[in-house]
Amino acid sequence: MKGKVFISGPIHGIRCGYEPVDPWQREKIIYKGTTHGWWKEVPAADFIKRDLEDIEKCDILIAYMPRLSAGTCMELFYAKMKGKKTICICKIRNPSPWIITHSDIILKKFKELEPALRTITFVKQPF
């Protein structure tokens, strides 16, 4: 296993040797997300805190942006500020400079993700 990948946005099925961390799956378990409207019962501050903790534990953040999303943009920014590798699958025409600047790799098509993940290398930090 290469490491952990935080999934920001609706991404399913691609692993490439990474362990995916999907916050939606975590929240469904915590709040028994099988009933209609379960999402409205999740306290926002708690959800955000858990997302940020998960991002800190991951090696890569994959941001899927079929459209502009405040949450995905914030997670992308946070991951970059924490020194994480970031990949953005961005279907937005003329994305914001904020998205461009905080993405190590920008892809237009989902099918480009697996080859992009295979190119990521990490530099060991001397601790």
Beta strands 85-90 and 60-65, pairing class: parallel
Tell me, rounded to whole angstroms, the distance of Cα 78 from its chain centroid.
10
pLDDT at 123 over 90: no
Phi-psi region of 36 (alpha: psi -120 to 50; beta: other; left: phi over 0): beta
Nearest of 14, 101, 20, 28 to residue 60 by alpha carbon:
20
Under the banding of pLDDT at 50, 70 and 90, the label for residue 127 is very low
pLDDT at 117 over 50: yes
The pTM of the full predicted model, rounded to 2 decimals, is: 0.76
Q: pLDDT of 3-55, one tens digit each?
A: 788 777 655 555 566 767 777 666 665 656 566 776 677 778 888 898 899 99
pLDDT at 76 over 80: yes
Q: Where are the domains of the chain?
A: 3-119
Output the DSSP codes for 10-23. Answer: S--S--TTEEEE-H
pLDDT at 86 over 60: yes
Domain 3-119 = CATH 3.40.50.450: yes
Per-residue pLDDT, 45: 87
Per-residue pLDDT, 96: 94
